[in-house]
A = this chain, B = another copy of it.
Amino acid sequence: MICVLSGGTGGAKFVDGLRQVMPAEDITIIVNTGDDLLWWGLYVSPDLDSITYVLSGMLSRERGWGVKGDTFLCLQAMGQLGEPTWFHTGDRDLAVHLLRSRLLAEGKTLSEATAVICGKLGVKARILPMSNSRVETRVDTPAGELSFEEYFVQRWYQDPVNSVRFAGASDAEPAPGVLDAISSADAVLIAPSNPVTSIEPILAVPGIHQALLSARGKIAAVSPIVGNAPVAGPAGILMAAQGLPCSIAGVAKAYEDFLDVLICDTRDARAADALRRGGLRVQCAQTVMRSAEDKAALAREVLSLVAGNLLKEQPESNTAFRRLSPP
């Protein structure tokens, strides 16, 4: 059993690779919910959605979020009603938000709602929100404190960042199954997600950091930073705000308490050497995932380092479907 800690975009790509090279049933993904937002009165969980969509074959790989082939007519109509439209919610995408919101309104927890949705969509991996309590990533900027999606999507991460906090984290509890998934995993993989706003919120939930410290499996992280810049998004700015250099050294530092192996890009070979001199195990690989093959190769590389026994190429049909389906 493998346990993955993940955010949305980079995490979805990484998980897309993992499911090609090992049975999806053996993967548990613990997902950041610090970006969750109430949107048009619906509860939207962007990272849970990306992971759910990639594992059900619904993700728009072109966009990296939302449902492939989706349309945006409700969004357009909401604009005509004077409602905000900066967070792009597709018409098919809305179905998941509607169902989740109804389940939550009926008293189900986020874990339970996630399990229902995954069941309906035929997702074989286990997707767990980090917590059923509300933990909100708040980004402090000169323009005021923003939610992560306000900072990231509405304002295109143009604001300077003073600091980041995870409101509600200290009172939160890990969702059922989270601590056990970490403790009992053959390996824990930290996806190439933003260390500050995708992984730190998970680590901020009381008990999770401790579970990582005492995990029986090896812990490996894939760096989302290549050559002193993030592969995508605002990780660099946010790392700087948290006192972390935007480099593989910064990634290593973010996870230093529990990290066994860092997987960094081949372009960071020199920086990798420096880290190795400091005692960390570092493996270089091609970490930028453009094709299905890139994703599988990275997943294979990472698994071979920490849980080679779990490697098992998945039936060709999966790949064929992936190749045939529109972006």
Contacts and interface: CB of A to CB of B under 8 A. Distances in A.
A99 B81 contact: yes
A235 interface: no
A91 B77 contact: yes
A15 to B, nearest CB: 21
Contact of A74 (B40, B94, B102): B94
Given A71-B71, A120-B82, A77 B92 contact: yes
A102 B96 CA distance: 17
B40 A98 contact: yes
Given A73-B70, A74-B74, A81 B105 contact: no
B99 A76 contact: no
A102 B41 CA distance: 5
Contact of A81 (B73, B80, B96): B96
A175 interface: no
Contacts of A92: 73-74, 76-77
A274 interface: no
A83 interface: yes
A201 to B, nearest CB: 26
Contact of A83 (B93, B95, B105): B95
A: contact size bracket: 20 to 34
A220 to B, nearest CB: 34
Contact of A120 (B41, B70, B81, B99): B81
Nearest to A38: B102
A250 B102 CA distance: 42
Copies of this chain present in the complex amount to: 2
Contacts of A67: 77
A41 B91 contact: no
A91 B73 contact: yes
A121 interface: yes
A82 B95 CA distance: 11
A153 interface: no
Contacts of A73: 70-71, 73, 91-92
Nearest to A77: B95
Contacts of A121: 80-81
A55 to B, nearest CB: 15
A78 interface: yes
Contact of A40 (B77, B81, B102): B102
Interface string A87-108: 0000111111011011001000
A161 to B, nearest CB: 30
Given A70-B73, A78-B99, A83-B98, 13 more contacts: A40-B98, A40-B102, A42-B98, A74-B74, A74-B91, A76-B92, A77-B95, A77-B96, A78-B95, A78-B98, A81-B120, A81-B121, A83-B99
